[in-house]
Chains A and B, each alone.
Chain A
């Protein structure tokens, strides 16, 4: 009889204890922080609270969001991809180099293929062969960056006008980039909430051994997630270069892996995976975007803005520790 310890099985829905209030407080922290921050910026710089500024934020975070959603799913499954920034650069360079020989459609397709293949390679090394995700993608981070710089030692610029419209055109009142971001959010939410694959992805992060033993396609899901991440990094690369009209192999996407990680952790996904919600990740990304936008509007120097982001992340991590201790 090893099972005579305290069990909380009796804590059914009608038992409202202090614990529940704590849970609610934690769940409300992110939306509350966003609201307070928005009010703060509004007071300091009224221009912050305009439709145009919010649309501007959405454009600024669109690429980050596009990467963060699949990245979050990867993290939920207990994996990680540190090579997203380098892959972004490689995809940007590949697109930039292939517009002339292949035309826009060809270049876009090639870029998406390159991103997907980069993800597939990570996925096979991590999921099929079983190497450590951090080490593998740390390796590919450097490798892919080198590859991008080798392909394009000098910045590429001057893309076809028909491609650049992605970066500035509006459809139904919203920028194309914002629409792409919204589609990615909708896709991610649907996959996690409505498709049978959703709980299987999280299951990998909760208990990989159990997932294997109950017959989930552990390897295939892992490889698929990496490939999807690579694909959406390619999408983000196209979004980015269409906005800046250049693809500098040395600087494009540098540090993106850290921004993505910050946003995703802010969104409440533990570093060890196993749980999380796409919509909270959206809020995490949005918080980051709002923060940098607001600080710029307030004319805060970049260094200070960087420090603020760091502090926000540490606070979020502290909250997470607190939550897991209480739970």
Chain B
């Protein structure tokens, strides 16, 4: 019995994410699955779990094909998936969590005693004795919660188990305990496991084989004792990740969408820069460098105090975000909870709130059908999980909530020219981060100019074509992306500690800088 992926391909619009993946997991073995952010891991997992359907290729569990199956059918065919995000619930006991949706009933009522007994049995089978099935899940640590999730998955007697970064939030001790639980499950039930992780040192402890996914293809698969950590590091280094995204075509010869001429706002400025259609401007700086202030000024949320802002060659002066929006400038603010999410709104209204009553949505009467379609489109494009339009905004994980926030401006026909993003991946998990980067690549391809502010130099290097470095509100440098985080960090730090005149003159990569006008 084996789980086999054959020449699986999946594209989002013009972006090919999976370019022919071949993968094989034998029963009774653990396959460690590695890949850089953006290599296509989450897409592959989604294809296997039934959350998405691939474009071509096949996925076989034994003799049965999983292509086109719903998540429930995939489960019934013996493939269980445990996601990185916890899907267990406080307020329910351990046993209730394990039997959630498959309660043991007697005479129409939940038979708690039987559930507790069976839960204990399941846990003991995994070599876990310290968890009382009757305790409230809220009393358990994260490691124990992961174990409960595994027990829940094993209750359905799957033949294959897929674990997505199960140790991502666990301490070393908890991770160790989890490894032994997984080995127990493999030894006792002979299941095959795909173990997705970023931690290389745990691989020899838990896996039999290692597979590297890179740029949508399997780079290699080797037995774990023939692989060194260095081999694996090579394959998943950030370079590899950039490698994947750098290929996004970009033409900088279009007309300038945005031109800043000695713009000042509050303590920020003067800033001068130019941004073309399809170009990404990275705005980098330390805390308090003025990144947020600059974006707020560009979005109309804060007034400018001097200088000029030109949009498509015409001078603009926004008095409110609404004003900017009508000219095609939109902001995804940082601090999702405080500044962009409507916690109690259902997902569909969260997505469409800027568009109600204006083009492209109907002006007079709401069209619920249309709204549903727009949400469905966004959910598919950004892989919003769960794709439930009625689920409240606050119930989504950070990554999925952020996808909705970004999705607001990807609604077709909103006439977006310039998208401003402030810390777009704050509090966003790695999988969703990739999907957001992909969405930005798509925005870019459509000829929208993008400005991304981030305190994460790696992210800036990954996304930007040009980088504006700010220090204490002053423009320190405007350079082509050097793909060198160290340089950015050095520039930003030096700006904090020295006077402005000395800045651009020295330092590595100074020749790359275009001096500001």
Residues of A within 8 A of B (CB): 1-15, 17-19, 194-200, 202-203, 206-207, 209-217, 274-275
Given A6-B90, A195-B365, A196-B357: A203 and B342 interface contact (C-beta under 8 Å) = yes
Q: How far is the CA of A5 from the CA of B385 in the complex (A)?
A: 16
Decide if B168 is an interface residue (CB 8 Å cutoff).
yes
Which A-B residue pairs are the 5 nearest by beta carbons?
Answer: A196-B357, A4-B169, A3-B398, A196-B356, A215-B325
**Which one of B80-88, B266-274, B439-447 contacts A?**
B80-88
Q: A200-B357, A206-B345, A214-B353 are in contact. Are A19 and B91 (CB under 8 A)?
A: yes
B313 an interface residue at 8 Å Cβ cutoff?
Answer: no
Binds A, one of B254-262, B316-324, B373-381, B460-468: B316-324
* 24 A-B pairs (CB sep. < 8 Å): A3-B429, A7-B86, A10-B386, A13-B390, A195-B365, A196-B356, A196-B358, A196-B361, A198-B366, A199-B353, A200-B356, A206-B344, A207-B341, A209-B338, A209-B339, A210-B338, A211-B353, A212-B301, A212-B321, A213-B301, A214-B321, A215-B321, A215-B330, A215-B354
Closest to B427 in A: A2
B89 close to A9 (CB less than 8 A):
no
The digit string for B442-480, where 1 denotes a CB below 8 A from any CB of A, is: 000000000000000000000000000000000000000
Binary contact track B125-160/A, C-beta < 8 Å → 1, others 0:
000000000000000001001000000000000000
Are the C-beta atoms of B353 and A200 separated by less than 8 Å? yes
Please name the residue on chain A nearest to B301 by beta carbon: A213
Task: Tell me the complex Cα distance, A262–B469, Å.
Answer: 55
CB-CB < 8 A to B365: which residues of A? 194-196
Q: Could you mark each residue 364-406 of chain B with 1 if its beta carbon is under 8 Å from any beta carbon of chain A, else 0?
A: 1110000000000000000001101011000111111000000
User: Is residue B54 contacting chain A, with contact meaning CB distance below 8 A?
Assistant: no
Which of chain B's residues has its CB closest to A196's CB? Answer: B357
For the complex, what is the distance from the CA of A13 to the CA of B390, rounded to whole Å?
9
| Further 16 A-B residue pairs, CB within 8 A, beyond A6-B145, A209-B339, A210-B338 | A2-B426, A3-B85, A3-B399, A4-B85, A7-B86, A7-B396, A9-B396, A9-B397, A15-B100, A196-B364, A196-B366, A199-B353, A206-B344, A207-B339, A211-B342, A211-B353
B66 within 8 A of A: no
The minimal Cβ–Cβ distance linking B453 to chain A, given in whole angstroms, is 14
Contact (Cβ within 8 A) B322 A215: yes
Instruction: Verify B353–A12 contact, CB threshold 8 A.
Output: no
A78 to chain B, nearest CB (A): 12
By a CB distance below 8 angstroms, the chain B residues around A11 are: 89, 395
Cβ–Cβ < 8 Å partners of B426 in chain A: 2
A7 to B142 Cα, complex, angstroms = 12
Within 8 A of A (CB), among B90-116: 90-92, 100-101
In contact, B395 and A207 (Cβ under 8 angstroms):
no
Give Cα A115–Cα B125 distance, bound, in whole angstroms: 74
Distance between Cα atoms of A275 and B392 in the complex (Å): 12
Quick check: B342 and A207 within 8 Å, CB to CB? yes
A-chain residues with CB within 8 Å of residue B324 when the two chains form the complex:
215
Q: In the assembly, what is the distance between CA of A200 and CA of B355, in Å?
A: 10
Q: How far is the CA of A194 from the CA of B388 in the complex (A)?
A: 21
Q: How far is the CA of A209 from the CA of B320 in the complex (A)?
A: 12
Tell me the smallest distance from the CB of A47 to a CB of chain B, in Å.
43
Name which residue of chain A comes closest to B395, CB basis: A8
Instruction: Determine the chain A residues whose CB is within 8 A of the CB of B85 once the complex forms.
Output: 3-4, 7, 9
B60 within 8 A of A: no
Contact present for A3 and B397 (CB under 8 Å): yes
The smallest C-beta distance from B509 to any residue of chain A, in angstroms, reads 30
- B221 CB, min distance to chain A CBs, angstroms: 27
Assess A207 versus B169: contact at CB under 8 Å? Given A197-B357, A214-B353. Answer: no
Count of B interface residues, CB-CB < 8 Å: 63
CB distance from A198 to the nearest CB of B (A): 7
Please give, as numbers and ranges, the residues of chain B lying within 8 Å of A216 by CB-CB distance. Answer: 322, 353-354
Within the complex, the shortest CB–CB distance from B370 to chain A, in Å, comes to: 11
Q: How far is B350's CA from A173's CA once the two chains are assembled, in angstroms?
A: 44
Q: Are A4 and B345 in contact (CB under 8 A)?
A: no
Residue with the highest number of chain A CB atoms closer than 10 Å, among B87, B330, B362 = B87
B67 within 8 A of A: no
Majority secondary structure of chain A interface residues (helix, strand, loop or mixed): loop
Is B214 in the interface zone, CB < 8 Å from A? no
Min CB–CB distance A129 → chain B (angstroms): 15
Report whether B354 and A2 are in contact in the complex, using a CB–CB cutoff of 8 Å. no
For A270, the closest partner residue in chain B by CB is B344
Q: Decide: A9 and B400 in contact? CB cutoff 8 A.
A: yes
Known contacts A10-B87, A200-B356, A213 near B340 by CB under 8 Å: yes
Chain B: minimal CB distance from A6 (Å): 5
A213 touches B86 (CB 8 A): no
* Contact status A206-B343, CB under 8 Å: yes
CB-CB under 8 A from B487, the residues of chain A are: none
| Contact pick for A7, options B301, B338, B395, CB 8 Å | B395
B77 within 8 A of A: no
A14 with B429: CB separation less than 8 A: no
Q: Are A3 and B427 in contact (CB under 8 A)?
A: yes
Q: Which residues of A contact B320 (CB under 8 A)?
A: 212, 215
Whole-angstrom CA separation of A196 from B352 in the bound complex: 10
Q: Is the CB of A12 within 8 A of B86?
A: no
- By the criterion CB–CB under 8 Å, are B299 and A213 in contact? yes
Which B residues lie within 8 Å of A13 (CB)? 388, 390
Q: CB-CB < 8 A to A213: which residues of B?
A: 299, 301, 321, 331, 333, 339-340
Contacts of A9 in B (CB 8 A): 85, 87, 385-386, 391, 395-397, 400
Chain A residues near B92 (CB-CB < 8 A): 17-18
Check if B408 is an interface residue, CB within 8 A of chain A.
yes
User: Which residues of A are found within 8 Å of B88, using beta-carbon distances?
Assistant: 6
Is B363 interfacial (CB 8 A cutoff)?
A: yes
Contact of B386 among A12, A209, A212, A214 (CB under 8 A): A12
B438 interface contact, C-beta 8 A: no
B435 beta carbon closer than 8 Å to chain A: no
Q: Min CB distance, B263 to chain A, in Å?
A: 19
Complex CA distance for A214 and B363, rounded to whole angstroms: 17
B430 at the A interface (CB under 8 A): yes
Given that A207-B341, A215-B321, A215-B325 are known contacts, is A8 also in contact with B89, CB under 8 Å in the complex?
Answer: yes
Do A4 and B356 contact each other (CB < 8 Å), given the known contacts A9-B85, A9-B395, A10-B87?
no
Q: Is B349 an interface residue (CB 8 A)?
A: yes
- Which B residues touch A207, using CB under 8 A? 338-339, 341-343
Residues of B within 8 A of A3 (CB): 85, 397-399, 427-429
Cβ A4 vs Cβ B87 within 8 A: no
What residues of chain A lie closer than 8 Å to B396, measured between beta carbons? 7, 9
**What separation, in Å, do the CA atoms of A14 and B386 have in the docked complex?**
12
Please, how many angstroms separate the alpha-carbon atoms of A184 and B366 in the complex? 20
A199 in contact with B87 given A209-B338, A213-B299 (CB within 8 Å): no
Q: Point out the residues of chain B lying under 8 angstroms from A8, CB to CB.
A: 89, 395
Measured in the bound complex, the distance between the Cα atoms of B260 and A166 in whole Å is 63
Task: Check if A15 sits within 8 Å of B331, measured CB to CB.
Answer: no
A contact residues around B340 at 8 Å (CB):
210, 213-214
Report Cα–Cα, A296/B344, bound state, in Å. 40
Shortest C-beta distance, B196 to chain A (Å), equals: 14
